[in-house]
Structure 1
């Protein structure tokens, strides 16, 4: 059993309808009575006309309510269409993005984890944290775009993330040309030790790791410090050879530079600052080269220099 809820507005409307009906019926009774009509006819006409008046009021109110309902329905349809128009493109874009993630060569879980962790940076986080995270994501997005499109990516200064990351993820082999102007003191530094450890792990996994030490004018193949470095790397199953700058074939002299070729598909090149003292040289820029022809040239340069280089003396 249900009970109707009567609001003050509804009660007032019903009261007006009742009063109107009573007034109409009473007026009809007075008129018919003044015309000397039989009382039965007066009463009948009063009830009939009062009922008609009540019915007309109900019909008028119903029409108003129906018009209001139609107006609300029309506004709701417009609002719904606007909502669909605004939301559907976003849903389509999100669906397209997830489709691309599934079709990507990258692990979808890793990409999803990146997005989820990004959303964990709340608006209440310090502004410096927000700006730093946004800058890193923008930097990563730019790097991914450049890697996907191929070509050359330049980092101004000495890089360590690319170097260690590429070394740790090598699947075929690593071929490196080490110039004295770039690598002086590298093997005793923190980054050098991490780089060597990453190469040791790659070599221990059965992958090829080779290095050519190009000696400058002051360097000699019997330098005790150099031979100790070579011996240490050979113990790590890294194949090491020495090459004096004077022994480089003439047609290759202008091409010799500090570089690493990863998996025969990507070249990592560094450019030292210009100085007369190699001990004072610093790395001015680092480049990742993905252009196929350029990488082939780098791989061929290494192969040619490897053929004319020699094994270091055993210490």
Structure 2
């Protein structure tokens, strides 16, 4: 429609130019005739003046069009600069992000897959789905930030994802201190069985897995259920030792706590709820410790307790 209107406007402009030329030439012819000029002179002057009028009209239109083009070009340059100013930082940020993904120690395909899967959550997805996915991404982002920066990450309650994930990905070894207030029913639970199976796989893969059972008294060392647990873990190539609290070196008594060391780089600590009966205690919070000084302290604690502990009696017979 706009093209048709533009064509019609151009045709009208050409028609006006032709009419102006004809009128100018005709007027010139009439004037020269009135001045008693020869027909040849009248015609020549009419054509010349008409042509000049047409040329002037074309030059005037050309100047207008040129001015219009300059104005449009100026507006286009301003718009182009605006677009460049707006999009270049985005392109630069995207390029920098892509470079960082390529330089990351993580597999780029894994990071790309996370981003692509995130984009599959559309605006048409149910609100609860969008909010849940966004919350999980934020949690993962915060976890990654804290892991990279080091420090302590706290999970309120009993965690399972960290426990199983770290056990499955340990590359050197796993050292654990188990206290009754936390692990009293662990080995019979679903999470305990999964954790134990992950440790079995780690030991079978050649990684050193050690555990110290810290007992409230010497008599518990003869408990058949405990000896059964020790025997089961021994068959899984897990090194097991027992340590009664009275035998804990005095300077270490206040430091004894439930913890797991992964590759001597990361410590996993759990805190039981305060309860007079350890059999009813639950895990109140879980901490992931990455501070080098704190991890070194945990490593020394395990080494000292391991030296003070002993194998279950049935292993010495």
Q: How many residues align?
A: 311
User: Which sits farther off after the overlay, 99-108 or 178-187?
Assistant: 99-108
Q: Which runs of 4+ in 1 moved over 4 A?
A: none
Cα 1:24–1:158, aligned 2, differ >3 Å: closer, same or farther? same
Alignment RMSD: 1.5
1:226 and 2:226 matched: yes
Residue by residue, what CA displacement relative to the aligned partner does 1:99-150 show, whole Å, maximum 9, x if unpaired? 2222222112211111111112122111111111111111111111111111
Where do 5+ consecutive residues of structure 2 fail to align? Answer: 1-5
CA distance in structure 2 between the partners assigned to 1:45 and 1:29 by the alignment: 7
Does the aligned pair in 1 maintain the 2:172–2:207 contact within 8 Å?
yes
Give the drift of 1:47: 1.1
Superposition pairs of residues 97-116 of structure 1, within 5 angstroms: 97-116=97-116
Cα shift at 1:55: 0.6
Partners of 1:224 and 1:215 lie apart in 2 by: 14
Instruction: Give the corresponding residue for 1:16.
Output: 16
CA deviation profile, 1:217-254 (whole Å, cap 9, x unmatched): 49610111111111111111100111111111111100
1:152 Cα offset (Å): 0.7
Q: Does the aligned pair in 1 maintain the 2:203–2:237 contact within 8 Å?
A: yes
Counterpart of 1:178 in structure 2 is 178
Residue 3 of structure 1 aligns with which residue?
none
Compare the two structures and name the one with the higher helix fraction: 2
Give secondary structure in 2 for the equivalent of 1:221: helix
- Using the size of structure 1 for normalisation, the TM-score is 0.96
Counterpart-to-counterpart distance in 1, 2:291 and 2:85: 43
Distance 1:114 1:103 in 2: 17
> Once the 2 structures are TM-superposed, how far is the Cα of residue 70 of structure 1 from its aligned partner?
1.1
Distance, in Å, in 2 between the alignment partners of 1:217 and 1:210 is 21
Stretch moving more, 176-185 or 109-118: 109-118
Partner of 2:157: 157
Query: In the alignment, which residue of structure 2 is the partner of 1:192?
Result: 192
Give the match for residue 121 of structure 2: 121
Residue 49 of structure 1, CA deviation = 0.8
- Once the two structures are superposed, what CA deviation does each residue of 1:31-65 show, in whole Å capped at 9, x if it has no partner? 11122222221111111111111111111011111
Corresponding position of 2:35: 35
The equivalent of 1:148 in structure 2 is 148
* Secondary structure in structure 2 of the residue aligned to 1:267: strand
DSSP 3-state at the match of 2:288: strand
Deviation per CA, 1:168-208: give whole Å up to 9, x if none: 00000000000100011111111000000000000000110
Which residues in structure 2 correspond to 1:29-108 (within 5 Å)? 29-108=29-108
Q: TM-score, normalised by structure 2?
A: 0.95
Partner of 2:3: none
